[in-house]
Amino acid sequence: MLSFEINKQTSIIISGEWLKKIADTFYRENKLRGHWYFSLAFVDDKTIKKLNKTYRGKNKVTDVLSFEDNFENFIDLSSKEKYLGEIVICVPQAKRQAKDVGCSLNNEVTRLLIHGLAHISGYDHENVSKIEADKMLRLEKKILIKLKLWDVFKFEEEQIDD
**Structural domains of the chain ordered from first start:** 2-159 (3.40.390.30)
Local structure of residue 10 (DSSP, 8 states): S
d(CA 144, CA 150): 5
- Is the per-residue pLDDT at 95 higher than 80? yes
Q: Which residue has the higher pLDDT, 18 or 75?
A: 18
Any binding-site annotation on 115? yes
Q: Which residue has the higher pLDDT, 70 or 95?
A: 95
Average pLDDT of 9-16?
94
* pTM tops 0.85: yes
d(CA 141, CA 111): 9
**Neighbour-count burial for 72-100, b at 16+ CB within 10 Å, e otherwise:** eeeeeeeeebebbbbbbbbbbbbeebbee
Any binding-site annotation on 119? yes
- Is the per-residue pLDDT at 21 higher than 90? yes
- Is the per-residue pLDDT at 88 higher than 80? yes
- Among residues 142, 138, 139, 141, which one has the least CA distance to residue 153? 141
Banded pLDDT at 115 (limits 50, 70, 90): very high
- Among residues 109, 144, 141, which one has the least CA distance to residue 125? 141
- Structural Rg of the chain based on CA atoms: 15
